């Protein structure tokens, strides 16, 4: 599918734009599932000021979508209408250790890199990020967590840019964190950096914890496959994978998509899957779990775009 080219209109509206703007940009290579159609327009801003400039001049009728590393994402086969923004480069990829056992990170930084930087600085409390695929921007929106830790446990404040182009700072209370979500996820804010509170620790002990997290992931999750991480949120007091397994879905396939044999809360692209295969498989899993247990699973993976 090819969309009408809106990049000339965007450049006309924001002639001093410095970042990279592409028409009908392929999105599949930017997602871990490696599926999906193009973005009508894809923008990678040069820095926060460049991002704010474009948003301040973005026509209100143009839909806006933000993507990160694409680890927890299905882009549908028809692609994404409007403008897609993907942060990257030095401006959004830096980490700084600050006074008071604090760490500041750009939102394009992979979670694992934050965990490593904290360990190198003997900052405890951030090792759980070693086990989360994705970047800090996604962690803020989803209150990402694993192995006993969550983003809400650490965040002091987050900085971002609104749809109107205003640079804002949100406190922890402003974020409205809940299980695998935040109130900020309903707001049109593109996060650019985050400040975390660590605590003094022993580097060797922190590294040992990170090694434990790594070993646990490698033993239990299909991390070498084309996957999007945990597909469904865990129900209160239970495990999604157990419900999926009990419903007979382990190894279930639709087209090139399959429920992982190793961990059945993971969907994988075995090769040649379409986004429709992956999403359709997820919906079939939800149907079978509902039929078997009466429980309705809720997607943890974000699904965006239009069907082909």
Q: Could you tell me the CA-to-CA distances from 75 to 153, 180, 270 in Å, in that order?
A: 30, 20, 17
Q: Confirm if 268 and 254 have CB atoms less than 8 A apart.
A: no
181 is catalytic: no
Q: Confirm if 257 and 280 have CB atoms less than 8 A apart.
A: yes
Q: Long-range contacts of range 276-282, CB-CB < 8 Å, 24 or more positions apart?
A: 276/76, 276/77, 276/307, 276/308, 277/35, 278/33, 278/35, 278/74, 278/228, 279/74, 279/76, 279/303, 280/254, 280/255, 281/252, 281/253, 281/254, 281/255, 281/257, 282/231, 282/232
Burial of 76-98, coded b for 16+ CB within 10 Å and e otherwise, reads bbbbbbbbbbbbbeebbbebeee
226 is catalytic: no
Locate tokens 């405890």: which residue? Answer: 124
Residue from 48, 209, 279, 300 carrying the catalytic annotation:
300
Task: Quote the tokens at residue 131.
Answer: 């086990």
Which residue blocks in the chain are alpha helix, DSSP H?
Answer: 7-13, 48-57, 111-120, 136-142, 172-175, 203-220, 240-246, 275-293
104 is catalytic: no
Residue from 230, 260, 286, 288 carrying the catalytic annotation:
230
Residue from 116, 141, 159, 180 carrying the catalytic annotation:
180
Cα 262 from Cα 271, distance rounded (Å): 17
Cα 27 from Cα 218, distance rounded (Å): 27
Residues labelled catalytic: 180, 230, 300
């Amino acid at each position: 599918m090819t969309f009408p080219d809106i990049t000339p209109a965007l450049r006309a509206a924001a002639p001093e734009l410095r970042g990279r703007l592409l028409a009908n940009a392929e999105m599949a290579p930017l997602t871990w599932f490696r599926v999906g159609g193009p973005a009508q327009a894809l923008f990678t801003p040069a820095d926060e000021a460049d991002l704010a400039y474009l948003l301040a001049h973005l026509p209100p009728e143009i839909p806006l979508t933000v993507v990160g590393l694409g680890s927890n994402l299905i882009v549908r086969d028809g692609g994404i209408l409007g403008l897609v923004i993907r942060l990257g480069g030095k401006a959004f990829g830096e980490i700084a250790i600050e006074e008071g056992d604090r760490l500041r990170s750009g939102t394009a930084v992979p979670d694992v890199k934050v965990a490593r930087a904290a360990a190198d600085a003997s900052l405890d409390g951030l090792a759980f990020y070693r086990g989360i695929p994705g970047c800090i921007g996604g962690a803020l929106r989803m209150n990402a967590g694993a192995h006993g830790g969550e983003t809400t446990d650490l965040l002091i404040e987050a900085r971002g840019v609104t749809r109107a182009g205003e640079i804002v700072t949100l406190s922890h209370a402003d974020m409205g964190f809940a299980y695998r979500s935040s109130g900020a996820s309903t707001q049109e804010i593109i996060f650019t950096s985050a400040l975390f509170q660590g605590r003094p620790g022993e580097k060797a002990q922190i590294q040992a914890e990170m090694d434990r997290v790594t070993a646990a992931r490698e033993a239990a999750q299909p991390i070498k496959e084309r996957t999007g991480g945990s597909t469904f949120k865990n129900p209160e007091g239970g495990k999604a994978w157990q419900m999926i397994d009990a419903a007979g879905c382990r190894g279930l396939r639709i087209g090139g998509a399959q429920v992982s044999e190793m961990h059945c809360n993971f969907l994988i692209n075995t090769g040649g899957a379409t986004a429709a295969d992956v999403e359709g498989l997820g919906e079939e899993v939800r149907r079978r779990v509902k039929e078997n247990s009466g429980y309705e699973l809720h997607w943890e993976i974000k699904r965006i775009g239009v069907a082909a």
